[in-house]
Each structure stands twice: as C-alpha cells, then as structure tokens.
Copies of this chain bind each other. A is one copy, B any other.
Amino acid sequence: MILSDIICLRGENIKMGKFTNGKFKEIIIGKPFPSSWDLHERLDKVRALAVFASDPISSNAYATEAIMSVLIVLGSAALPITLPLGLAVAGLVFLVVFSYIQTILHYPGGGGAYIVAKDNLGRTASLFAAAALLTDYILTVSVSVSAGVRAVTSAFPEVFPLRIEIALLAIMLITWVNLRGVRESGTVFAIPTYAFVVGVWMVLMLGLARTFGWFGAAPLIVETHKVAPTTSLAGFAYVWLLLRAFSGGCTALTGIEAISDGVQAFKPPEAKNAAKTMLAMGLIAMSLFIGITYLATHLHLVPEEAESILSQLARQITGGNWLYYWVQFFTAAILFLAANTGYQDFPRLSYFLAQDNFLPRWMRNRGDRLVFSGGILVLAAVSSLMVIVFQANEIAMLPLYALGVMLGFTLSQSGMFRLMGRIARLKPGESERTHVTEIHYERSARWKRLLAGIGATITFIVFLILTSTKFLEGAWIVALIIPLLVYMFHSISLHYERVARVLSVDGLTAHDLTPVADVVIVPIGDIHRGTLRALAYARRISRNVRAICIISSPEMKVRVMRRWKRFAPITRRMKLIPIEYDYRDILTPVVEYIEQVNNVEFPDQLTTVVIPAFLPIYKIGEVLHNQDAARLRTLLRPNKDIVIIEVPIHFDSKI
C-alpha cells in the first residue's frame, strides 16, 4: 500500500528499500549488504595478510623438502647444497616480492599479472597470464584441500575411503564462508594462519637457541651418516640436477602474486596498505623458509616418505612436546586454508576478465554479501571436479601446479620491465598515461627495471625447467588447457562484440522499427475458461484474431464448433480455424501455421501469438499436464519476429 503510494502515484525516481529475499538463503548467506557498504567490507592489513598469505606461507611447509628430494639422488652427502640453493630461492622470492610491490603501487586497481601484461605486453600475453593464473587458482584449491585431507587421513586411517567426500565437504565449507563475505572469511581464517606462523617461529627460535647455546639451551645432538654420492655426476648433468633442485624450491613462490590481484579488497589507501602487507608477507615467508632450510641442513635431516622435513625438524628441536603438536595441527590447518587464497583471487581475476568481456558478464556481479558469488561458485565446482577426477590425490596434481604460477610471474615481470623502461624515459616532473594507469618520473626506475628483468629471466628459466621435467607427468594437461582457455576468452569476447553490434543504437530512427502486424494467433485445444480468457485478451489487442485448433477426430470437430458458437458473445468477430491432422505431434502443424503467417502473409512484421497457459499450483502438478504451452514457446523461439503472449490461468483464477 505504502509502496504503491510512492511508486505508482508519484511515478518517478523512487528509492526502494530491501523487501524480500529467500529466508533460507538469508539464513545461510546472511543478510544482504547494500552496494554502498563496499568499504565496510574491505580488509584491514591483519585480516588481509591472513586471507592472502595462507597460500605462500603454507608453501614453506614443503619448499625445503622439494629441494632436498631432488638432491638426495646424489646421496645424503649432497644435502648441504640445500642451503645455498635455498638462499638463491629466497633471493628470487625477494626479487618477485619487490616486483609485485611495484606492480601494486603502479596498478592500484589490482588485477596483477593480467593487468600488467594487458597494459604492457598486449592482449594475447595478458590472456595467457590470466589463463595460467585461473588454472593455478583452481589447482590451489584442489591441491591444498587434498593435502589437508591427507593430513587428516594420516591421523585417522579409517576414514581414508571417505577422503573424496571429506575434500568435497571442505570445499563446500570454504565456499560457504567465502559467500558470507570477504571480511567474514578473513576473520575466520586469521587464527590458523597466525598460529602456524608463530608456532614455526617458536620452533626455529628454539632450534637456533639450542644450536648456538643461547639462553643456556640444551645443545642439539646432530647425527651425521653421510653417504657418498651414489653416482658422480659431472658437468652438464650436475648443473641440470642443481637447476631442478632450485626449480623445486621455487614452490616457495606460489601464491606471492595473490595480493597484487586483490588490491581493491584493502581498506583505503588501498595500494599503500596492500604494498605494506606484501612486504610483511614476503618477510614472514622468507624468514620461515630460510630458517627451516638452515636448520634442516644443520641437523642433517634426510627426506623420508613417512615424515615431512618440517615434522622431523619440529620433533627433533622440541623433543615432541606440545609445541610439536601445535605445529603439526596448524600445518594441516594452513594446508586447508591455502585454498582460501584461491577463493580470493579466482573471483577477482574473473571479474577483471568479465569486465573486459572475456568471461560471462555475470561474473562481474557481486552477490548479496558483495563478493563475486559467480566466480566463487565456478571455482567451487571446477575444483570439486578436479578433486573427484584426481581422487583427492594431491601428489598426482602437483605436476600440474606451479607451471601456471611461473608463467604468470614471467609475464608480470616482463610487463614491469617494459613499464619501468617507459618510466625511465620520463624526465623529472613528467608524467604519462598508459592504457590503464598513470606513470610519473621515478629516480630508481633503471634499477627497478634491471631487477624486473632478472626476475623475469629466472622465473622463465624455472618455467622451462618445470615444463620439461614434469611434462609427461601431467604438466601437458595444463599446457593444453591454457591455450584452450585463451581461445575461449577470445570466442566469448567475439560473442559480446557481435551482441553489442546487434543492440547498438547508432543511427537508429523510429523508421527502423519492425511494424507490428494486425494479427493474433491463439492456438487452442478446446474451449474452456483458460482459452476463453486468452481469446478475450487477444481480441483486446487486435481486430484479426485467429483461433487455431488441431482436430484429431470428427467428434472433436463437432464439439469444438458447437462450443465456439455457444460462446458467441466472446468469440464473435474472431475466426476459428480447425486444422485436421492425422498425427499425434499436434504442435508441428501449429508451428507450421504460425510460421506461414509470419513469413508469407506478414513478412518483416511482428506476428503475435497468444498462448493460454494453465499453471498448476505445485511444481509436481506439471507432471500431470502435457506442457504444450512451454513446448510451443520453445518451438517458436527461433523465430525472430514472433511475439509470444502468455495468458495464465491458475487453479484458483476467476476467468
């Protein structure tokens, strides 16, 4: 009542409140947020670190091990090489972090590698970067959830047969929390992330204290059973092995790009906060990685099938007290949570792609809680599919992983290399607009350019090594999928371009409108309240109403004609066209007739069809009716000049 007063009587410029939403949906997802609440749903730095860093931080749980498991081929005497290789990886982490901080500062709108490549390397490169990263975010979710489930099934082997179900349940849970909002997921996921970092830090501190005898800590007993190299690799083979070990360690880099993609999730000033968080993340990740690598080599740990390096390390240093269990528990937790990084970045990157018409437009839309619900649901679906296909076995998925990350790094740093080149050409005080952003003179542009160039080169080499060593193990799948995705992006973009051309109003005048033919066709099966209502409506809008009725027997014809005459007050001035038809697919002649009228009698005009639609109250009732109305709609749809009018009659309708 009140509403109608506002809307219908004043009739313009009404501000509407929020009336209804599915109660059920509201219980699950929470009350809808208004669009203007955007800022309220932004992340502070503490939450942002937890949300975006769970993936890169969790990768330290296994990066050291990845180096060692390659070196062990040379025998355990070769393991000390882990330390210099680890330092080299840490150096690369530094380079990449630095490069992404530059990216964040220069592209405060977010979008990471995709936007950088788009702005500096062109469309195709940017689409490759996007495809690589989307693939990787999906794998982040399926790999980390599967790894988390492995931690659970190691503890409780009896649930192993249920691992796929557990993994899918975990994905559902993470999806649910993410659908409730960015800030909400940040709050939920902060505790385990920080608990993991603090736990490992304590182990490392204790380890260093016991190594160097600080605070009078009991010295560590170091066992050394050095085994001489089993094969003496020389020359190229040796270098190749070191490169492979180094590439393995580069797993520590995964997830570093996460923040650069989601700058707009931060509270303002977005870029500044994101850059600071990036730095904090880089420092935390490097401290964990170097600490673990140093102590692991110092303690002469050897990678084992049954126990991870981090677990060995924590057990030897703590002697297996509560701290050990703390680290173990939160390692499992953070493995699960690394998935959340995928949930942050996949929908955001999809948003950027959808903005540029490379993905379906609905992926731009925010849901009730201002998150990109479409992207979240697509990610949940595809990563669930991966979990099912790979039977929740993350070992089998790992060769697919990291490839995309490295490709993304390479493209993003190449882009930054170019951008810095442009900036370096600016004179002090000058500024310039690129396609996406504005650049100003910077003193250290040349240096930054050099670092980006080195970073790009190294990550490209790592990319090549990973591709060549893991190609047959499964990396070929990704090598196939990425170009296919790029092709898909192109096709989607082409589609939207064509749609835009069709809907374009350039040079449109009133004369271009298709005229409306003065004819209305009403297909009827009998004369009853429903069809009479439709006929009366048709009569209102045209003086040329034709009721067509498919006649399957002489008795039917007699009955229809008799009833038609009986309702002469309603049916007079309308024409009844009985069509005798000796088959049962009665919609075929109906469609034929309508198309004839549309194409031959009134070509290039809009022909109107009124369909009397009986609508049962319950969905289940639809089974009891033959759905001819719905099927007729579907059959008439391909005709571009046929307007369909559905006149409903319900169970409890008056006529």
Question: Which A residues form the contact surface with B (CB < 8 A)?
Answer: 1, 3-4, 7-8, 11-16, 18-21, 32-36, 360-362, 365-368, 492, 495-496, 498-499, 502-505, 508-510, 512-514, 516, 527-530, 532-533, 536-537, 540-541, 546, 552, 563, 567, 569-570, 575-585, 588-589, 592-593, 596-597, 600-601, 604, 606, 614-616, 621, 623-626, 633, 637-655
Bound complex: CA of A504 vs CA of B643, how far in Å?
Answer: 29
| A366–B584 CB distance below 8 A | yes
Give the contacting residue for A621; candidates B495, B601, B615; CB below 8 A: B495
| A32–B585 CB distance below 8 A | yes
| B643–A644 CB distance below 8 A | no
**Residues of chain B with a CB closer than 8 A to A597's CB:** 4, 8
**Residues of chain B with a CB closer than 8 A to A7's CB:** 577, 579, 593, 596
| A368–B583 CB distance below 8 A | yes
**Residues of chain B with a CB closer than 8 A to A498's CB:** 651
| B513–A655 CB distance below 8 A | yes
Give the contacting residue for A505; candidates B529, B537, B654; CB below 8 A: B529
| B577–A12 CB distance below 8 A | yes
A506's nearest neighbour on chain B, judged by CB, is B529
Copies in the complex: 2
| A516–B503 CB distance below 8 A | no
| A584–B537 CB distance below 8 A | no
| A585–B368 CB distance below 8 A | yes
Q: With both chains docked as a complex, state the minimum distance between the C-beta of A575 and any C-beta of chain B, in angstroms.
A: 6
What are 13 inter-chain pairs, A to B, with CB distance below 8 A? Answer: A11-B575, A16-B579, A18-B582, A360-B624, A361-B624, A513-B532, A513-B533, A513-B655, A514-B654, A516-B540, A537-B606, A606-B647, A615-B637
Bound complex: CA of A510 vs CA of B638, how far in Å?
Answer: 36
Bound complex: CA of A638 vs CA of B615, how far in Å?
Answer: 8
Bound complex: CA of A597 vs CA of B11, how far in Å?
Answer: 11
Q: With both chains docked as a complex, state the minimum distance between the C-beta of A372 and any C-beta of chain B, in angstroms.
A: 11
Q: With both chains docked as a complex, state the minimum distance between the C-beta of A615 and any C-beta of chain B, in angstroms.
A: 6
| A600–B8 CB distance below 8 A | yes
**Residues of chain B with a CB closer than 8 A to A579's CB:** 7, 14-16
- Most interface-central of A530, A540, A639 (chain B CB within 10 A): A540
**Residues of chain B with a CB closer than 8 A to A492's CB:** 624
Bound complex: CA of A546 vs CA of B10, how far in Å?
Answer: 13
Q: With both chains docked as a complex, state the minimum distance between the C-beta of A115 and any C-beta of chain B, in angstroms.
A: 22
Bound complex: CA of A653 vs CA of B605, how far in Å?
Answer: 12
**Residues of chain B with a CB closer than 8 A to A647's CB:** 606, 643
| B502–A576 CB distance below 8 A | no
- Most interface-central of A509, A580, A600 (chain B CB within 10 A): A600
| B583–A624 CB distance below 8 A | no
Q: With both chains docked as a complex, state the minimum distance between the C-beta of A640 and any C-beta of chain B, in angstroms.
A: 4
| B502–A32 CB distance below 8 A | no
Bound complex: CA of A624 vs CA of B358, how far in Å?
Answer: 10
Indicate whether A640 sits within 8 Å of B652 (C-beta atoms), given known contacts A569-B510, A585-B32. yes
Q: With both chains docked as a complex, state the minimum distance between the C-beta of A571 and any C-beta of chain B, in angstroms.
A: 10
| B537–A643 CB distance below 8 A | yes
| B601–A655 CB distance below 8 A | no
Indicate whether A505 sits within 8 Å of B528 (C-beta atoms), given known contacts A35-B552, A589-B16. yes
Give the contacting residue for A592; candidates B16, B502, B593, B654; CB below 8 A: B16
Give the contacting residue for A645; candidates B36, B536, B626, B644; CB below 8 A: B644
| A648–B642 CB distance below 8 A | yes
| B368–A584 CB distance below 8 A | yes
**Residues of chain B with a CB closer than 8 A to A585's CB:** 21, 32, 368
| B569–A509 CB distance below 8 A | yes
Indicate whether A527 sits within 8 Å of B505 (C-beta atoms), given known contacts A14-B577, A645-B644. yes
**Residues of chain B with a CB closer than 8 A to A360's CB:** 623-625
Bound complex: CA of A649 vs CA of B499, how far in Å?
Answer: 10
Q: With both chains docked as a complex, state the minimum distance between the C-beta of A538 and any C-beta of chain B, in angstroms.
A: 10
Bound complex: CA of A4 vs CA of B651, how far in Å?
Answer: 37
| A499–B614 CB distance below 8 A | yes
Indicate whether A649 sits within 8 Å of B503 (C-beta atoms), given known contacts A12-B575, A13-B580. yes
Bound complex: CA of A623 vs CA of B492, how far in Å?
Answer: 10
Bound complex: CA of A614 vs CA of B501, how far in Å?
Answer: 13
| A592–B13 CB distance below 8 A | no
**Residues of chain B with a CB closer than 8 A to A529's CB:** 502-505, 508
| A588–B20 CB distance below 8 A | yes
| A580–B16 CB distance below 8 A | yes
**Residues of chain B with a CB closer than 8 A to A4's CB:** 596-597, 600-601
Q: Which 3 A-B pairs have the closest CB atoms?
A: A503-B528, A4-B600, A34-B582
- Most interface-central of A503, A576, A596 (chain B CB within 10 A): A503
| B533–A581 CB distance below 8 A | no
Bound complex: CA of A87 vs CA of B13, how far in Å?
Answer: 91
Bound complex: CA of A177 vs CA of B463, how far in Å?
Answer: 58
A550's nearest neighbour on chain B, judged by CB, is B16
A529's nearest neighbour on chain B, judged by CB, is B503
Bound complex: CA of A654 vs CA of B513, how far in Å?
Answer: 8
Q: With both chains docked as a complex, state the minimum distance between the C-beta of A501 and any C-beta of chain B, in angstroms.
A: 9
Indicate whether A502 sits within 8 Å of B653 (C-beta atoms), given known contacts A583-B32, A584-B365, A584-B367. yes
Q: A34-B582, A361-B624 are in contact. List 5 more A-B contacts (CB 8 A).
A: A8-B600, A14-B578, A15-B580, A19-B589, A503-B614
**Residues of chain B with a CB closer than 8 A to A361's CB:** 624-626
A606's nearest neighbour on chain B, judged by CB, is B537
